[in-house]
Structure 1
């Protein structure tokens, strides 16, 4: 059987597995909604509360999708929140300056959003370069850039939030279309595009192959450095979109917004069915997992239970999922994240065979 046929069969198998996991998550989502609707029907089941969930889900779901994308390549991106904040600050600063110079509101908003996306792209390329070319372990590289990007954001703004965003930008956080928040529609578009990218394009197949087996990727002629650069650049753009939505919903841009989002985003990515050791990225499952955890958060808040309980639930969910992963023998990702990436083509070089001793050397070895 050819290599291409094997890859197609593996991709079909992963799609079936992801679809089954996503179906299970949908059942869990329905169960969570029914449970909290029965416990607190006057609050949870109201259209206003459901709409508030729709406002809160997109930003954390986008961050989780960025992490899931990097996990699918057997890496991780701990800098997504820092990238989102830096992107939103850069875009907000440019938009506010253009408004003060007399530029129209829609144009200033559009330019600000484009600047935010470019900043996210550049941050993603920096992460990709450190991992693909400098060969720093993903968890260490993105931990360093997380501190770097946060420090840059604090220095540029002196830790103060930016106000006065264009009304067009603020509309992304408050407007609705057919009762559904506009930000939720943006999330749906990103999920659809990312699903097509990962499951219907050659780039997505290469990302999954690099995550599943670096040696197989080398034998297939795939340049892992190019794949990793594209993966982290895409994750940076997704994080920038999340940053724009965060600033639109809060009507400001700050350097420390969403400080608690990182653990939540990782939990959502793993709960959604992402294989941390690489090779699988169930995009729809990650979005459904974000809905589940946000519904739990809304239900706990509506019942006036301490918000710290929700943090405990997050930790328990992550522990349970990791235990299940370890029982299935897929917890090798912990060591893979800490390992230095292998250079392109290194897996193609076979180990050197020991030299065969000559007849004279064998005769000398037998002499006492």
Structure 2
């Protein structure tokens, strides 16, 4: 159901936000104002809808970011540091999202010096309708950036090709785990595989590139399923890979079942964060507890997991071992890699103390006979 909020105009307006934040209590249209005025309104639960020059709105947003993004105080307790980091992220996002613009019929942005945002919004919302709505400027800029990445693609060395990922689907920008999948020894025989939680379809494509003739990739996110189908077709693996919208496992059994679940047991605050955060490790447990019955004889389950949660004290060091044991799975081998993404080397990152020690592993699991 659309969320309508009162404005200083004659009618209420629909408020759209891809996060789980509560909508503002009201909105005020203004042609010009400063960052301090927008922030004052934001703290009073009132959104400012920019009706003036688009580039001026971007400058005001940049000034707002400088005011609200303060260095985090050091925490003695690691888990507290993580939760405070997440809380600051949520609070900062809520405040910044109080500067909005009105999107008109056909996804038009009718502001001086505004870019054409129709393609970016179509990536997120599909076909436009004729009803205007309000959208946080910060999110619109994110949509525009994601749209450019979607068109350009993310180059995957293991495929020697790019995958194209729209907003709302997890992108393999941090792709060191793909190197593990590329070099892990395949079980013998390996005529079939499942890719659980396929996202962009990059793992399914990589398995196809390794010569597995029959692969089923699954995801519950319709955007991800559509993205995976497009990438699989573009890469020429349509005859080998079938994409299904289903929770965890498809019907049947396979020689190899791969899963790269969310690595951190925390609550996501938006749809795209479900690829990063999994409350209580629900997907991980569902995969491990169900995979044994889906494996062919001599088959393997490959689990890709980071130990970042352990360094953040969100998971005990022996948690995975206990999960494997409870699921009647044994470890046939482990491949490891260190993170290569930018945050891993950023000493100013609030979680640098944990990221600097992170290791990503591919666990080769077999059923206990």
TM-score of the superposition, structure 2-length normalised? 0.26
> Higher helix fraction: Structure 1 or Structure 2?
1
> Higher strand fraction: Structure 1 or Structure 2?
2
Bigger relative contact order (CA 8 A; separation at least 6): 1
